[in-house]
Each structure stands twice: as C-alpha cells, then as structure tokens.
Amino acid sequence: MLNPLEPGATLARAIATLAFLMSFAASATAQEEPARTPSSPSSRWTFTVEPYLWLPSLSGKGSADSSTPPSDVEVSFADALGDFEFGLPLAFEARAPDGRFAILADGLYLRLGDDQGTLQTETEVALLEVGGAVPIAGSKSWDLIGGLRYVDLSFDVELGPLDQSAEQSWLDPWIGARGELPLSERWSLFLRGDVGGFGVGSQFTWQALAGLGATLGQRWRLDLGYRALSIDFDDDDLEYDVLAQGPVLGLAWKP
C-alpha cells in the first residue's frame, strides 16, 4: 500500500535543509581563513565534496504489471514539496595533478508519490553513479565524461482495489560532456549533459544540468541550478518512462 508523507513535515524539512546550506555558506565566507601558500593545487590531487538538494517533479508513464496498460505519472513541483522524502544526495570528485583526469561519484535517493483520487502511484529510486572525466583537447574548461550508473527503482500503482508493485535494479553505461564558463571573479556558469542505457540496462536515459556557481572564499562554492533526468526502462513487469526535473542547490567544499 502507498504511504504518503505528511506534507507539512516534509515541506518544513526541505526548507530547513535549504536554509542550512545557505546559512552555512554565509558562515563559511565570513570565517574563511587567509589563503595558504603550500604546494600549487595543480601539482597535487584535489578533492571536492558536495552535498546537494534536488526537488524534482515527475512526468511520464509507468506500469507495474505487463498485463495492464501504463498509468500516468504526474507529480508537479508543488506536489513534490508535499510528497517528497529524501536522503541528502552527495557528489564527489577527485582530480589528478595538473588536471589530467578526474574521478567522479554521485549518489541519491528519493521517493515521490502521486495521488489522483482513484489512481495513486509511488516511485522510489536510488542512484549510484561512478565515472571519470578527461579534458577535451587540452581544454581547462570542458571535459569528456563517462561511466556507469546503478539504478534501483521501485514503482507502485493503486487503482481502486487493484494494488500492483514492481522493482528492478540495473546498470547503465553513460557518456557525455561538462563545462564551466567564468562570468566574473566570483560567478561561473556550469553545464553538463549525458546519454546512456543503450539497451544494456534501460532502453535509453539522458541527463542535463545547468546553473550558476558562486565562489565563497578559498574552499567553498554555492551552486544553484536546474537538473533533468529521463529514464526509459521496460523489462518483465516494470515499465517506466518518466522525466524528473527540478531545481538543485548544492554547497561544494574543497578540503
């Protein structure tokens, strides 16, 4: 059975998380230590850890039984605030000396419910992405990226007395590019796009991310953007063709 979350508690939790990231960033800027002068960052490994918050809406179709036609999956941004349960997603990057390559990792979990009266659906998904990045033609601003994305997706449908659920896990290869364009000493524009699946796991998947980053002293950066992730999976009882999209807020730290 579906178990919708309490809208008030979930909204308060999302707002509290957003407030925490923004206040922490402001505090970090005010208390930033003077720049140190050890070895040059380009001559050693550098690391970035970024907890972030993604609040997506959903649109598409899904089925938890191959004998029944797909049902609409429609969760607006306003609905998502009321029916959203999340563990704070985390992104990680380790860049080799002189920027020759980078190791990437990203993990997230979310659960979203859709209540249309007689029709109720619930999506629960966990993603773990591991990959690498290499500069494109020696560029310092653009990277070619690629890797593997593990997906564990559960989909539940209630239609009157009918209650169906299905769960599948798979591994998708993906490839894409990313770039960062400086706009000023503090602000920059970041872009990323990738495609994957190709019938190995899902039939096809794509992702796009764009936003602005603000440098906060020597170690911190505040990122505000928009992320879209599309999954088209069809195997056994689970059919799921849905686009998740919404704003992203992150706070990156370079130790």
* Residue range 97-124: mean pLDDT, rounded: 87
Residue 178 lies in a domain: yes
Report pLDDT digits (tens) over 164-220.
899 999 999 999 999 999 999 999 999 999 999 999 999 999 999 999 999 998 899
Residue 48 lies in a domain: yes
Write the CB contacts of 108 (distance below 8 Å, at least 6 apart in sequence).
54, 86, 87, 89, 90, 126, 127
Q: How confident is the model at residue 8 (pLDDT cuts 50, 70, 90)?
A: very low
CATH code, domain with 175: 2.40.160.20
Residue 50 lies in a domain: yes
What pLDDT score was predicted for residue 184?
95
What pLDDT score was predicted for residue 9?
47
Residue 162 lies in a domain: yes
Q: Looking at mean pLDDT, say which of 14-23, 33-42, 98-107 comes out highest.
A: 98-107
Expressed as residue numbers, the domain containing 173 is 7-253
Q: Which residue has the higher pLDDT, 55 or 34?
A: 55
Tally Cβ neighbours within 10 Å of residue 136: 14
Tally Cβ neighbours within 10 Å of residue 166: 20
d(CA 194, CA 190): 14
d(CA 195, CA 171): 13
Q: Which amino acid is at 123?
A: T
How much is the mean pLDDT over the chain?
84
Residue 126 lies in a domain: yes
Neighbour-count burial for 98-131, b at 16+ CB within 10 Å, e otherwise: ebeebbbebebebbbbbbeeebbbbbbbbbebeb
Q: Which residue has the higher pLDDT, 5 or 198?
A: 198
DSSP per residue over 64-78, as a string? S-TTSPPEEEEE-HH
Residue 1 lies in a domain: no
d(CA 73, CA 132): 33
pLDDT for 137 beyond 60: yes
Q: Comparing 38-47, 68-77, 225-234, which segment has the lowest mean pLDDT?
A: 38-47
Residue 188 lies in a domain: yes
* Residue range 28-51: mean pLDDT, rounded: 62
The domain total for the chain is 1
What pLDDT score was predicted for residue 82?
61
Residue 32 lies in a domain: yes
